[in-house]
Amino acid sequence: MPQSHPRPYGTLAVVGAAALGVVLAACSGGGPAPKASDLSSADRAKVSTGGTLRWALDAEPTTLNTFQADATPDTALLAEAVLPTLFTLDQHADATPDPDYLTGVEQTSQQPQTIVYHLNPKAVWSDGKPLSAADFAAQWQALNGRSSAYWTARTDGYDSISSVSQGAGPHDVKVVFAKPYAAWKGLFTPLYPAAATGTADAFNDGSRTRLAADSGPFTLSGLKDLKALDGAAVTAVRNPHWWGAPAKLDAIAFTPAAPDTRLAALRAGKLDVADLSRAVEDGTPVAQAASVPGTVLHRASAPAFLQLTLNGGSGPLADPDLRRAVAQAVDRTAIAEAVLKPLGLPVLPLGNHLVMADQHGYEDDSSALAPGADNATRHLDAAGWHLAAAPAGDAAHRAPAAAPVRTKDGRPLGLTLLIRTGSAEDVQVAKLLTDQLGRIGVPLRTVTVAGDSFFADHVAAGSFDLALFSWPAAAFPVADELPLYAKPAVQPDGSLNNGQNLSATGTDEVDQLLAKAAAALDPSEAARLTTEADTRIWQEAPSLPLFQRPQLVAVRTGVANAGAFGFTAPHFQDLGFTGH
């Protein structure tokens, strides 16, 4: 897939943090609440010291640099264990400074926006050097997009920064922004040492297979090169130079195990923590996932959602009236119930494109679309798409009559739906969508496409009417999602550049609202603008968020403080075993 296009959840890199690092209003509405996390929680004092925890990865990471195009969620997981995280997220994605790395942080000015980080004087890299402004400055220079020599997949808010320098003391870092950036709490996480980002060679190649230094409760100091592993576990060991509460475990063996092999590996006692979400999505009965002897299946909402994208750039759905009518006919509650109820999770259709249901600031704005089959029917009729007489059935052969189809100016209406090969869940949702659209006279033909060509050859190329895929949620909503809804730009030759907007439709108003929300430093103003932007997105109908994805994680009995984390990150120093 071209680097300029965004990434689907679970197949390529995790979308980096960027946007409103603020606490917004609580979730609205009186419906069921999402299950934000589900852990095998235990007090640290009850966790034994020692042992190796075997944690399943999808595959051996191809890079240790989370900012590169081929970084994966596994890359991010390793980084969380061995690199500085300046802010930690709770289950609602609220950010607080991590005291192991920051003794404090303050915004000292709004014009220009200025942030001063007070680093923990005890915080050091594994080579003995203290964390310093030099590390921040090198990472900013690598990620601000001003030099094409750095092969970075995104610039996040680093392109909004005008300077990074040492503050008043040796452990102070002063960051000045050229334009307001409300997402500043998502920057410099993970933080890499200057040796890993200070030059293009170090950033592009040096940090792919090894780290010049790390700084966490665990370390990869014994790992010489990822290339030498050849599918073996990536082992992080207790960091002897860690200044905080020491890790309970001796080591974590991050073990490559494809989703379809994990149940067998769990039964054989070869894994202690394994995400089974993909296996269940691909057709493994949840009862099987929940009945592995000696394990507990933890269930929560993932920081991701399933969405239906409508192609507004070409084909029938480029007609905005038709696109909205098709979107109105989708019964998202029925789809959420069919998928989530059997998994033991609350049935909650997602009502926001920008904020997940378990994040503060969530509002269900879906009423702006005026959903419902009756509304869809009225709008189709008004747009000139009328039901044609249905062909009669073949009574002699007892063939049922064909469903009536809508036509306009003699043209019959028919749409295609792209889904991924191997996903039983996609097949289930496709059948529901086919039935729902069929009721209003819109035939839907499902086309199954292999994962390696789904985006590059079809979605990114605009070769689809409807496409079903999962999408990662932004831990700090809005700024990172701006490109996904940005109005396509007109090129000098008159053609359109859709950028990362897969629906190829947008408005100036949505662009302006999202830009203002991303720059709003006042939490209440940011919340108001976010809700207004999402309301306008619903009315434009570029996509439909269906439901927040389930996260199903099997954890071996006796393993403490692991499970379905949702937006939270593992507190790695507290992971371990009880009863040993």
Comparison of pLDDT for 17 and 134, the residue scoring more: 134
DSSP state of 64: S
| Structure-token pair, residue 332 | 């998202």
d(CA 33, CA 347): 9
One-letter amino acid of 556? R
Position 511 in a domain? yes
Position 395 in a domain? no
pLDDT band (50, 70, 90) for residue 499: confident
pLDDT band (50, 70, 90) for residue 580: low
What total of structural domains would you count in the chain? Answer: 2
Position 543 in a domain? yes
Q: Count of CB atoms within 10 A of residue 71's CB?
A: 23
Q: Cβ distance 559 to 272 under 8 Å?
A: yes
CATH number at residue 331: 3.10.105.10
Same domain membership, residue 352 and residue 289: no
Position 63 in a domain? yes
Q: Cβ distance 464 to 416 under 8 Å?
A: yes
pLDDT in tens, 281-311: 999 999 999 999 999 999 999 999 999 999 9
User: What is the distance of C-alpha 211 from the center of its chain?
Assistant: 25
Q: What is the pLDDT of residue 15?
A: 28
Same domain membership, residue 70 and residue 196: yes
| Structure-token pair, residue 410 | 């003699």
Comparison of pLDDT for 475 and 496, the residue scoring more: 475
pLDDT band (50, 70, 90) for residue 392: low
Same domain membership, residue 330 and residue 465: yes
Q: What is the pLDDT of residue 231?
A: 76
Tell me: pLDDT of 1 over 80. no
Q: What is the pTM of this model?
A: 0.91
d(CA 315, CA 428): 25
Q: What is the pLDDT of residue 341?
A: 96
Q: What is the pLDDT of residue 490?
A: 86
Tell me: pLDDT of 397 over 60. no
Position 359 in a domain? yes
d(CA 189, CA 390): 59
pLDDT in tens, 458-469: 999 999 999 999
Q: Cβ distance 301 to 336 under 8 Å?
A: no
Same domain membership, residue 313 and residue 235: no
Cis peptide bond upstream of 112, omega within 30: yes
Give the mean model confidence (pLDDT) for residues 407-428.
96
Query: Which residues lie across from 471 on neighbouring strands?
Result: 305
Same domain membership, residue 566 and residue 537: no
**Range with the lowest mean pLDDT among 98-112, 225-239, 527-541?**
225-239
**Range with the lowest mean pLDDT among 176-185, 230-239, 437-446, 504-513?**
230-239
Position 209 in a domain? yes
Give the mean model confidence (pLDDT) for residues 251-262.
96
Same domain membership, residue 231 and residue 161: yes
Q: What is the pLDDT of residue 14?
A: 29
| Structure-token pair, residue 415 | 């749409």
Secondary structure of the chain: what % helix, strand, coil (to 5)?
A: 30, 20, 50
Same domain membership, residue 290 and residue 344: no
Report the Cα–Cα distance between both ends of the chain, in Å, rounded. Answer: 47
The residue range of the domain holding 330 is 303-386+410-550
Position 394 in a domain? no
Same domain membership, residue 340 and residue 226: no
Tell me: pLDDT of 21 over 80. no
| Structure-token pair, residue 532 | 């207004």
Q: What value does the mean pLDDT of the chain take?
A: 91
Comparison of pLDDT for 8 and 156, the residue scoring more: 156
DSSP state of 389: P
d(CA 412, CA 406): 6
CA dihedral 563, 564, 566, 569 (to 10 degrees): 20
CATH number at residue 203: 3.40.190.10
Q: What is the largest CA-CA distance in the chain?
A: 91
User: Highest-confidence range of 26-30, 491-495, 498-502, 574-578, by mean pLDDT?
Assistant: 574-578
Same domain membership, residue 258 and residue 372: no
Q: Which residues of 102-133 are buried (b: 16+ CB within 10 A; e: fewer)?
A: bbebeeeeeeebbbbbbbbeebbbbeeebbbb
Same domain membership, residue 143 and residue 58: yes
pLDDT band (50, 70, 90) for residue 494: confident
Same domain membership, residue 433 and residue 347: yes
Q: What is the pLDDT of residue 400?
A: 59
Position 401 in a domain? no
pLDDT band (50, 70, 90) for residue 50: very high
**Range with the lowest mean pLDDT among 30-34, 298-302, 365-369?**
30-34
Same domain membership, residue 324 and residue 213: no
pLDDT in tens, 66-103: 999 999 999 999 999 999 999 999 999 999 999 999 99
Please report the sign of the dihedral spanned by the C-alpha atoms of residue 158, residue 162, residue 165, residue 171: negative
d(CA 281, CA 426): 8
Q: What is the pLDDT of residue 156?
A: 83
